[in-house]
Each structure stands twice: as structure tokens, then as C-alpha cells.
Amino acid sequence: MPRRVLLIAAVLATACATPGPPSADELPLITPTEIASTVDRAERPVVLNIWASWCTPCRSEAPLLRAAEAEYGDRVDFIGVAVRDSQDGARAFIGEFSLTGLEHYFDPTGAVPTSLGGRGVPITFFFAPGGELVRTHSGVIDERTLVLLIDELLG
């Protein structure tokens, strides 16, 4: 079955099976981090998504990221960074979209995307193992592009 069909099926199955969002108290604390060292130490490819709870396009791509993590999470590390947001807003967003399979960090100033040469949200960075930046996708990512760029990482 083509990957696109599998990804769509995973999104639909997850959306239908997901109960209401957990409370913010049930989510792990999101702390500030220096993302460069995390990516540099990665032994697997990394998909780094920059988002914010107040970002409407981020809301449309969140289910795709959840489905991609379910499909590729055994071969690719998925990291989310909430920027220029509040802790409560970020935790609520993670809960609402059941993004608990991704590793999350909090960046209140937006320094992480700026340090990687990006601006705005959403923006997704694709890294090879060891931290080499392979691709940057500015703006909302669609399913086809996400799958193609992940396949490129796994090449």
C-alpha cells in the first residue's frame, strides 16, 4: 500500500481513537534547551518542527506530524519546539493534538529558529544523523512534502 495511503489512514485512525486532550498537568514539563547540541548528538535523522499554540497553520500540520511520528518514529527522531508561546498554551496544544510521541522543548524568545536561519512559524528542519541540516521547509508542511523529505533523510 502506498505510504501516502498509510499516512492518511494513520491520521484518521489516530483522530478517531484519540480521547479528549489530557490536562496540562498530565504533560511533561517543557523546558528551554540549546537544540544544536541535541541535533548534533543524534544518531538518527531528526525532523525538528517549530510551532506555537497561537499559530493557525501549526494546527493544520500537527496531525500530520503525529502520524509521521507513528509511522517513522522507530527510524527518525521528531522534536517540536514551541516558540514565543506560554507554557500553558504549549502544553495544551500538545495535549489537544496528542503530540506526546514527539520530544518537545520551549523557546520563549524564538532563538532556536533564528539560530538555524529560519523565521516565523511553522517551520520544519530536516537533519541527517550527526546534525547536518539537509532541508528547511518554511510554512505549513503538507503530507506529500513531509513524506518525501523524510524518505530523503532515510535515503
Average pLDDT, the chain: 82
pLDDT bucket at 33, cuts 50 / 70 / 90: low
Mean pLDDT lowest for which of 19-33, 93-107, 108-122? 19-33
Structure confidence at residue 86 as a pLDDT band (50, 70, 90): confident
Q: Which CATH number does the domain housing residue 92 bear?
A: 3.40.30.10
State which residues form the domain around 108: 3-154
- pLDDT value of residue 10: 42
- Cβ atoms within 10 A of the Cβ of 56, count? 10
Q: Quick check: pTM over 0.75?
A: yes
Task: Give the pLDDT band of residue 54 (cuts 50, 70, 90).
Answer: very high
The pLDDT assigned to 150 comes to 98
pLDDT at 20 over 60: no
Identify the pLDDT of residue 2. Answer: 54
Number of structural domains, the chain? 1
Burial label, 3 (beta-carbon count in 10 A; 0-12, 13-18, 19+): middle
Q: Which residue has the higher pLDDT, 108 or 72?
A: 72
- pLDDT tens track for 107-152: 888 888 988 999 899 999 999 999 999 999 999 999 999 999 999 9
